[in-house]
Amino acid sequence: MSLIKGATRWVLFLAARGEPETRHILDLAYGLYCLEAAGIPQANIAIYIDGNDRQLTSQLLGSGTSNTYVIKSTNDFFSDQQQNSHENLVMFVTGHGSIDGIDALNPIRPYPLLKSVKDSPNLVQAVLYLGQCHAGIFNYIGAGRSNVDTKKPDPNVIIIGATSLHESLSASTNEQLGSNPVSWMANVFLLHLFKWISAPVDVDGDGRTTVIDSFKYAGAMANGVNKNVKMHTFHQSFDLRMKCASAEQNHKTQQTLASEIALKAAHAQYFNAMNVGHIHQESWILNAIPAQSIEF
């Protein structure tokens, strides 16, 4: 049985220390739109987003759906998994990340997340798509099936990361969510992953659309965007460097608050352009063998 037609719980997940960024909520709004477009029932979709402004979060998510969803905090995910009744779990994570894990009031580290999934009753297999920066710290852990406890078969967990031990790439996009055009700085790996789910492509040509196809498609498309962004910012950096030089000279001459603010702004623009040029993004997959047979 495929993930879409089977007993699958689809989780959209955004942890945050305080209020989540609008762009990250819109990542999930687009994901929600694509999940519904793929024919996934509302009852099988669960949404976990931190923050106190629930009205704004609901409004932003509403750009991708006409349905009303209960939005829980990310802490609720772990307690809900203890009551799991689904055979499959597919989870999409956006937001910030670091060497400490997924950014939250109490950062979510790899083993606690994996243990929560592994300990879920009735679960047979899970696919975790991680879009946050430094997602590679979730790699190289025991995600495969161990079968140590014969009374409870150990679920297979496939973990897929947008990037390894680097920042994750976001880029400006404009997407149609139903009749609504929406623009935001999207996580490019998750963006193309959601596009693939709404219209799956058999990348490896085996006659099936599987988890491994989703990984290959989203990774290749994200790297294409990464290359184009780097080419654009490389050319842009020359103009920005000249702007910095002009602002530096102007501040030496004027020594005013306005000239100082302009100088700092010019330096920030130049630094941001140079930073993008040095981002290395390469997607990865842990436990790839079962991913070749799990169909969407």
Q: Write the pLDDT tens digit of every residue in 69-122.
A: 999 999 999 999 999 999 999 999 999 999 999 999 999 999 999 999 999 999
Q: Which residues pair with 170 in a beta bridge?
A: 187
pLDDT in the model for residue 273: 62
Instruction: Give the separation between CA 22 and CA 152, rounded to whole angstroms.
Output: 40
**pLDDT tens profile 59-83:** 999 988 999 999 999 999 999 999 9
Q: What is the mean pLDDT of residues 261-282?
A: 68
Asked whether the beta carbons of 59 and 182 are under 8 A apart, the reply is no
Say whether pLDDT at 247 is over 80: no
CA–CA distances in Å: residue 31 to residues 125, 139, 195, 227, 269: 21, 23, 8, 24, 30
Instruction: Measure Cα distances from 17 to 11, 23, 56, 234 in Å.
Output: 20, 15, 17, 33
CB 168 within 8 A of CB 97: yes
The reported pLDDT for the residue numbered 171 is 86
CATH-assigned architecture of domain 8-223+281-291: 3-Layer(aba) Sandwich (3.40)
- CB distance 89 to 159 below 8 Å: no
With cut-offs at 50, 70 and 90, classify the pLDDT of residue 287: very high
CA distance 179 to 63: 9
In the structure, how many helices (H) and strands (E) does the chain have?
8, 11
What is the maximum alpha-carbon separation in the chain?
78
Which one-letter amino acid corresponds to residue 139?
A: N
Q: Over range 186-204, report the average pLDDT.
A: 96
Domain ranges of the chain: 8-223+281-291, 230-277
Percent of the chain with pLDDT over 70: 84
Alpha-carbon span 222 to 173, nearest angstrom: 12
- How far apart CA 157 and CA 126 sit, in angstroms, is 5
> What is the pTM for the complete model shown?
0.88
Alpha-helix runs per DSSP H in 46-187: 54-61, 74-81, 110-118
One-letter amino acid identity for 140? Y
Pairwise pLDDT comparison (23 vs 248), residue with the higher score: 23
